Structure 1
């Protein structure tokens, strides 16, 4: 089973096992650039039903049920006008690992669950390679809960609204480790525009919770040569899970 998982990742040939007790080191190397982390495109102007601004103090006290209800009817930005449904998140609500992606794609918008297309299949294989699985010890969500048109990057204002919801999800789950999948997730969680290549293989902090950055599975599908680096990141995640109390 493990061999099959590694074959799906394209990692079986010539990979070398490293000691899990070795310290994490960052080695500078040329990177294949991802798409721009912070989008500059203008948001699509769409008519939405106005809502009063989010009360972050109220959301910070919400239960899972109340939070999911308010997300499902959210009209705080233009993305609401074109969605089929919101994509709240899925997984173990007491997870050790909280994965954060960018935003829903067309299939996610249709099914209401994050990472269900080809990138989702690759993500499942990545998790399985370090003995994790969707729904067991893992929670998955995105920076934004609605699909951006043409799968563009979320606009800053769209992300700002949804980060209020995501922050509450993180507080409810209380993960031991956050994993930012790709540049958009990293930029919004860490509030910088540093490339994934420079952020990966380092331990960051998000409001007191350890955070690591790795490539988005969709990016790996476009740049399969980067799977080797992703495997290094997965091994780092495995070590951190084992060592974090």
Structure 2
């Protein structure tokens, strides 16, 4: 499975754009669920007003993420009247959705795990004290360790240790990624306000479908033909 991280951002936009980020996040999560893609909400930067977000970051895990994201990555436009500033004339607001490049690793190579058998401690009688059934597993690249003594079987403890180590490294990777997100402010600064990938309209935030205008194309062809005949 592939893993991708995306960020929804209002850029330097006003409070209305932060409101749009919060609305788009809801809409995007619904779409993610419909596509049966696993997701983790890594970060939400709240805006200055209630129910607004400066940015939100989501980690996606699935098989065909590229085909899903092709309809989401880019500029998002909302056409509507501001509810924060009654007499504001502007009706077009823009936010962006970008992919974040991460340097964190997403999987464990078992060759990078060092296992050490040690004697178990605690209840269990003489067998526990004399047999080295407990396992300490260390992930060498990160120095993350787990100690497992759940079973009297060394083999079983080794399997449990690997699983717990994977969970701890996943938590470590998310923490690292959250740190990277804070340093990637260029997405907030380079918001493009042209060729939106999606357009929403009105206070109910309905998606606006792109309608093909064949009439304008026909008129353009007629104009070009007249020029050629002159």
TM range (shorter): under 0.3
Larger radius of gyration: 2
More strand by share: 2
Structure ranking higher on relative contact order (CA contacts 8 Å, 6+ apart): 1
Please report the TM-score for the alignment, with normalisation by the length of structure 1: 0.23
